[in-house]
Chain A
């Protein structure tokens, strides 16, 4: 198994290399450059040209690319033009925010979706099932920003149960218990929004898995042993139906780490999604390329993670 994991990581190197070239070239094709929006109209065009030259933006793309990739290998992802900060530091800070948000989102997501999916599948065609299916279609149909705004208005503004933006109140000192509590408090509403919207897929998938499993031969065998129906459900049907969901976990986690652009933007949460959008609009090349590289890596990692989870939960699959 370790061999496979190492091999998969090695295969990622050429994949990421190709990705990096594509991203770098595409980023350069975007109209404008980092100085376009920052500099006032009064600035001397010669000064801009000087800055551009100094930043190496006039060199052919492959020279720029070689310079960037060389630095990247030394752990230097460059400087953000907009934030005037080290890209690695910037992303690191945002990634941590997104990580906590994602973790809670996944937790709430599964907390809602799994019981609902199980109930819908178990009592197929009952009134309960129909209600759950209706719920999942409704949440599927609502756009993220609509639900986000409704929640924000209702729970944040009207009821004032939750903060409406940010990741932590500046009045708390970092490291204290209050500080962490406040962080948690800030991500609760965005995670909940995200989770509610993500439930449809899992509920529907789980429901149909369970309905399928009920007709399986091994379930009939289990019933022929004379064990109570609730045991047949818990030991045979649910366990086997949760398998594909577990396998999906890898993708879900890494997918979330990319950050949700809508949720983070609406709740003013300083995470990766928000950073990505703002860096694109400000042509912050070094941040864009670093982020896309990171997203690419996460996607590859997600598929590896899913394979690993699968091989742990399903004895038929062994990666060696």
Chain B
């Protein structure tokens, strides 16, 4: 592995069993995460981004899931480790921040106890040292009265405070990698801004690599260093954040950008992507997976087996159809005469 690469994923396939057949929700993903970097993984629901996250940390149902490929961390292939071996890494070297801060905390357990749990198994600290570490952590995530909060239960805290607690749990053992799965989706914008600032602050302190899973391109623009866009189980574009926002290439990425109701745009209409995301069982497993959503682009524009091409240093785009892509111009507005005839 290269110098500061923490985690390297090679050709990862994660499939779910539906009636004795495995369908890959993550279909050949290769990625790497560096120290002190925020890698954003963006995509709409069903694109496989959350499955990718749970595959890395091993939090899937082993009976219904099949993980193939390599997830190399600390010279170990995480995909091949047993549940016990993973437990030594989870929460210690790799940890996770969850989306909904209320349901992600045990309602019957005091905050302090929930933060302390990881410390019991991953450190040799005694009870009093652990207690002071808990207070230190609460302080670190910006909670002003840690002694009180440590004794409280989740329902006694606001949404923003709970998310800070979730973060405290994740950073308790100073992990090298933090996976944040939609960490601000359930929060109001002002709280979201605070939490994102906190994440960046903590990263500067710990130098961890952060994998940020999100659907919100605004959040990506605010915090990410590098972005991977996923569609139908594959990465379709990957680039540094400035590059991706300035020069999006893949038709899907460009379509997404044009769907955002932006604060400073005057356009009356938003771009609509034709068709729907195919379900897991109906994913096209060959050819360009986005081709059915841009039918006006001729078939020759697509590659037979679309690969990721490096079009400029660090900027990867899947398939060749981006070269030919243009937005559809005619927007035939329906006439609803019958409705008008009241």
Contact = CB atoms under 8 A, between A and B. Distances in A.
A243 B96 contact: no
6 contacts: A221-B96, A226-B91, A226-B92, A227-B87, A227-B91, A240-B106
B139 to A, nearest CB: 20
Nearest to B120: A227
B83 to A, nearest CB: 7
B121 interface: yes
A239 interface: yes
A94 interface: no
A315 B98 contact: no
B98 A221 contact: yes
B108 interface: yes
Interface string A288-320: 000000000000000000000000011110000
B108 A243 contact: yes
Contact of B108 (A222, A224, A225, A240): A240
A315 B122 contact: no
B107 A218 contact: yes
A259 B103 CA distance: 42
B155 interface: yes
Contacts of B103: 216-218
Interface in A221-253: 221-229, 231, 235-236, 239-240, 243
A220 interface: yes
Contacts of A316: 107, 153, 155
Category for how many chain B residues contact A: 20 to 34
A220 B117 contact: no
A110 B223 CA distance: 53
Nearest to A227: B121
Contacts of B104: 217-218, 220-221
A226 B172 CA distance: 12
Interface in B95-140: 95-96, 98, 100, 103-109, 114, 117-118, 120-122
B181 to A, nearest CB: 10
Contacts of B80: none
Interface of B: 57, 59, 83-84, 86-92, 95-96, 98, 100, 103-109, 114, 117-118, 120-122, 153, 155, 166, 169-170, 172
Nearest to A316: B155
A236 B114 CA distance: 10
A314 B118 contact: no
A315 B121 contact: no
Nearest to A220: B59
Nearest to A214: B61
A167 B83 CA distance: 55
B90 A224 contact: yes
Contacts of B91: 224-227
B117 A227 contact: yes
A280 B72 CA distance: 78
A320 to B, nearest CB: 15
A187 to B, nearest CB: 35
B98 A225 contact: no
A314 B108 contact: yes
A220 B103 CA distance: 10
A285 B169 CA distance: 65
Given A217-B98, A217-B100, A220-B98, A226 B105 contact: no
- Closest A-B pairs by Cβ, 8 of them: A226-B91, A226-B90, A225-B91, A217-B103, A225-B118, A218-B106, A315-B153, A224-B96
A310 to B, nearest CB: 12
Contacts of B169: 221, 225
